Amino acid sequence: MNREKHRKSLEKGYYKTHACKESFTCAFCGRLVVPQGAGTEHRNHCPNCLHSVHVDHEAGDREADCGGIMEPVAVWVRKGGEWALIHRCKRCGKLSSNRIAADDNPMKLLSIAVKPLAAPPFPLEHIGGLTKLLNDETTL
């Protein structure tokens, strides 16, 4: 580890107040991730596979010692329509929410978003009947 990087990593909360301008190699897919193109100053996941590494308690504080790979498990919509990703640490199970970046892989995001629809916990053929029931109730 180079000296400058080491010093920064020892400073608590450094990345909360400073933009992260460092490139890193994705721990999951191995792609070199550069800060340019994210549209945000805190790129915390790989734009290719959307995985992250568990290094923060709060976004940007770098205070977690876990270091586990964080898997993107869900997408949710913030106020104003902005998408965010839910990451789950494969090692300790911690969940965290992260804003998506401008250059995140759109197909990957979509595939995460539709996953629950592809595997519904109830039979889809019942939906027709349920919709009819609802309609009948509202027209009564």
Binding site for Zn ion (CB under 5 A): 26, 28-29, 31, 46, 48-49, 54, 66, 68, 89, 91-92, 94
* Cβ–Cβ < 8 Å for 15, 61: yes
Amino acid in position 120: P
> Which residue lies nearer to Zn ion by CB, 88 or 99?
88
Task: Report in angstroms how near the CB of residue 67 gets to Zn ion at its nearest.
Answer: 7
Q: Is residue 28 classed as helix, strand or coil in its secondary structure?
A: coil
| Shortest Cβ 91–Zn ion spacing (Å) | 5
CB atoms within 10 A of CB 92: 13
For residue 36, the minimal CB distance to Zn ion (Å) is 16
Between residues 16 and 71, which has the closer beta carbon with respect to Zn ion? 71
Say which DSSP state 80 is in.
T
Judged by CB, which is closer to Zn ion: 29, or 73? 29
5 touches 14 (CB < 8 A) = no
Quote the least distance from Cβ 138 to Zn ion, whole Å: 47
Residue 80 contacts by C-beta under 8 Å, 6 or more apart in sequence? none
